[in-house]
């Protein structure tokens, strides 16, 4: 049975960013130049600023500290100045849910910006044999209204900053004991060796390429060899098809690309993924063929949710093969994950297997994605934050249905 932890306690409030700290400048997510500029603004001599940036970078992204008092090779006076004007505290963790399959979902609350309100974001950790994948959000809500996606039913509230994107990774590494000298929680399902978080995917709430600059800065910091040091080949950015930014993603960020495809005909994709009306399939596939670094070693992943009687016929599978001809690709087949109010059903398992067999025989790897975290609404397409939450009774009813095995 899934486990839900309510982490709003008097003790936890002492460990997260207080409301007043929202006025402080967060150092998390700043580039080295921006961090140096911030330090000079606090009175650090320019000739010392670069050295101080190296120290801060190490403490933030290698050691994972969240309190200036833990930065022992920085003078007390500078630590006091930083504490008075800046913050490196984590967002508030409102809730942590742990699925029976080991998947974890965190509901994080970020403080208000300007005259805005606090916002909630969901982040999911998926443990697998030999790897652990963190699914990160880029926006609060989404503008795309894909009809099969629960996140798409939540209106866009705002973009996340580079710091807020990175803080999801830092919180997850905290909670999993993935920083040096940190302990992994008892009973946690994590890789047996090495890092607990080996891969990150920009597949959470929002469309990453509608928040391009902030996502770019966050991912460049995540892949920085002197900090979090994740390989760009272990970072995947998923887009529904924002064609003008696809080439820039490869050229300026250099991470792996995933496309939320889900249909092989424009008239159907217009319904399932409405951005297709602006950037139809031909434009999208042309952009994929031109993706920098594309090769058999750096394939594009095409995500295809299996919807019963909608897009799962063998004719659809043949059309998919024709559509992707000439593109080094892998096709992830995703059993539809139900949510309250959805109009779709998951394809029958036998149909999914026949679809996969046809695509495989055509020379494309087409793994069927194992549904993970369905009992805590953490599966693909189910994320929707408490900024606009479903009724508790609806959520409990759905969780009970998933636990009892329906929808599998």
Report whether 223 belongs to an annotated binding site: no
Range of the structural domain that residue 166 is part of: 92-376
Residues 320, 208 within the same domain: yes
**Does 260 count as an annotated binding residue?**
yes
pTM score of the predicted model:
0.85
Position 396 scores a pLDDT of 40
pLDDT at 371: 66
Range of weakest confidence among 30-39, 71-80, 162-171, 388-397: 388-397
Residue 18, in any domain of the structure: no
Number of domains observed in the structure of the chain: 2
Residue 337 assigned ligand-binding role: yes
103 found inside a domain = yes
CATH number of the structural domain spanning residue 52: 1.10.150.530
Q: Does 142 count as an annotated binding residue?
A: yes
Reply yes or no on whether the pLDDT at 224 is more than 60. Answer: yes
pLDDT digit string, tens, across residues 194-221: 999 999 999 988 899 999 999 999 999 9
Residue 255 has pLDDT above 70, yes or no: yes
Residue 297 lies in a domain: yes
In a domain, 408, yes or no: no
Q: Who has greater pLDDT, 374 or 47?
A: 47
> Do 108 and 232 lie in a common domain?
yes
Same domain, 141 and 199: yes
Give CA–CA dist 262/113, Å, rounded. 35
56-64 average pLDDT score: 98
Is residue 85 located within the same domain as residue 220?
A: no
Domain stops at, among 89, 106, 140:
89
Whether residues 58 and 192 fall in one domain: no
User: Is the pLDDT confidence value at 95 over 80?
Assistant: yes
Catalytic residue among 92, 95, 96, 122: 122
Residue % of the chain over a pLDDT of 70 = 82
User: Is residue 407 a known part of a binding site?
Assistant: no
Q: Is 245 in the same domain as 344? A: yes
Cα separation, 375 vs 98, in Å, equals 9
Per-residue pLDDT at 307: 95
pLDDT of residue 59: 98
* Residue 146 assigned to a binding site: yes
Q: What is the pLDDT of residue 391?
A: 43
124 within some domain? yes
Last residue of a domain, one of 89, 118, 137: 89
Could you tell me the pLDDT band of residue 408, with boundaries at 50, 70 and 90?
A: very low
Nearest alpha-carbon partner for 78 in 52, 103, 101, 99: 52
SS3 letters for 323-366? HCCCCCEEEEEEECCCCCCCCCCECCHHHHHHHHHHHHHCCCEC
Read off the pLDDT band of 16 (50, 70, 90).
very low
In a domain, 383, yes or no: no
Residue 401 has pLDDT above 70, yes or no: no
Predicted confidence (pLDDT) at residue 380 exceeds the cutoff of 50: no
The active-site residue out of 96, 346, 380, 399 is: 380
* pLDDT at position 39 over 90: yes
Per-residue burial over 180-212, b = 16 or more CB atoms within 10 Å of its CB, e = otherwise: eeeeeeeebbbeeeebbbbbbbbbbbbbbbbbb
Contact 333, 304 (CB under 8 A): yes
Q: Please, what is the Cα angle at 198 between 192 and 291, to 5 degrees?
A: 150
% the chain with pLDDT above 90: 70
Is residue 11 flagged as an active site residue? no
Residue finishing a domain among 34, 58, 89: 89
The CATH number for 173's domain is 3.20.20.70
Please confirm, yes or no, whether 122 is among the known catalytic residues: yes
Q: What is the pLDDT of residues 127-170, one digit of tens each?
A: 988 999 999 999 988 776 666 566 545 678 899 999 999 999 99
Closest CA to 273 of 287, 259, 289, 258: 259
Q: Is residue 14 part of a domain?
A: no
243-253 pLDDT, tens digit each:
999 999 999 99
Question: What pLDDT sits at residue 361?
Answer: 96
Residue 171 and residue 76 in one domain? no
Same domain, 168 and 241: yes
Residues 56 and 145 in one domain: no
Q: What is the pLDDT of residues 102-115, one digit of tens each?
A: 999 999 999 987 66
Q: Does one domain contain both 268 and 152?
A: yes
Q: What is the pLDDT of residue 117?
A: 87
* Bridging pattern class, strands 139-140 and 158-159: antiparallel
Sign of the C-alpha dihedral, residues 87, 91, 92, 98?
negative
For residues 82 and 130, membership in a common domain is answered with no
Neighbours of 316 (CB within 10 A): 18
Q: CA–CA distance from 288 to each of 150, 239, 243, 257, 314 (Å)?
A: 26, 11, 9, 9, 24
Q: Is residue 65 part of a domain?
A: yes
Residues 6+ apart with CB under 8 A from 25: 38, 85, 86, 87
Q: Are 69 and 237 in contact (CB under 8 A)?
A: no
- On whether 332 is known to bind a ligand per the annotation, the reply is no
Establish whether 346 is an annotated binding residue. Answer: no
| Residues 55 and 152 grouped into a single domain | no
Q: What is the pLDDT of residues 299-327, one digit of tens each?
A: 999 999 999 999 999 999 999 999 999 99
């Amino acid at each position: 049975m899934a486990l839900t932890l309510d982490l709003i306690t008097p003790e936890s409030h002492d460990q997260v960013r207080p409301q007043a700290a929202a006025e402080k400048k967060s150092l998390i997510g700043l580039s080295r130049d921006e961090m140096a500029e911030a330090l000079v603004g606090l009175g650090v001599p320019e000739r010392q600023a670069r050295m101080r940036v190296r120290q801060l970078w190490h403490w933030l992204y290698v050691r994972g500290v969240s309190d200036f008092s833990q930065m022992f090779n920085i003078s007390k006076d500078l630590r006091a100045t930083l504490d008075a004007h800046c913050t490196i505290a984590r967002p508030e963790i409102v809730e942590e849910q742990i699925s029976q399959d080991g998947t974890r979902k965190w509901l994080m609350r970020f403080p208000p910006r300007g005259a805005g309100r606090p916002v909630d974001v969901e982040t999911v950790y998926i443990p697998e044999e030999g790897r652990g994948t963190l699914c990160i959000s880029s926006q609060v809500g989404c503008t795309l209204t894909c009809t099969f996606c629960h996140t798409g039913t939540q209106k866009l509230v705002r973009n996340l900053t580079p710091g807020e994107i990175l803080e999801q990774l830092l919180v997850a590494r905290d909670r999993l004991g993935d920083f040096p000298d940190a302990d992994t929680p008892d009973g946690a399902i994590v890789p047996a060796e090495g890092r607990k978080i080996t891969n990150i995917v920009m597949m959470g709430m929002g469309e990453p390429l509608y928040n391009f600059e902030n996502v770019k800065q966050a991912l460049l910091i995540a892949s920085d060899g002197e900090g979090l040091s994740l390989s760009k080949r272990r970072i995947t950015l998923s887009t529904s098809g924002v064609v003008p930014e696809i080439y820039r993603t490869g050229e300026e960020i250099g991470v792996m690309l995933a496309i939320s495809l889900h249909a092989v005909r424009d008239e159907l994709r217009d319904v399932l993924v409405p951005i297709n009306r602006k950037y139809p399939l031909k434009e999208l596939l042309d952009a994929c063929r031109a993706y920098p670094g594309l090769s058999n070693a750096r394939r594009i992943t095409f995500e295809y949710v299996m919807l019963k009687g909608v897009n799962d016929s063998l004719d659809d599978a043949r059309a998919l093969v024709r559509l992707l001809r000439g593109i080094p690709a892998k096709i992830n087949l995703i059993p539809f994950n139900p949510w309250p109010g959805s109009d779709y059903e998951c394809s029958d398992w036998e149909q999914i297997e026949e679809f996969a067999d046809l695509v495989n025989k055509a020379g494309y790897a087409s793994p069927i994605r194992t549904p993970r975290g369905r009992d805590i609404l953490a599966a693909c397409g189910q994320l929707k934050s408490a900024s606009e939450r479903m009724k508790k009774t609806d959520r409990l009813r759905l969780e009970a249905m998933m636990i009892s095995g329906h929808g599998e």
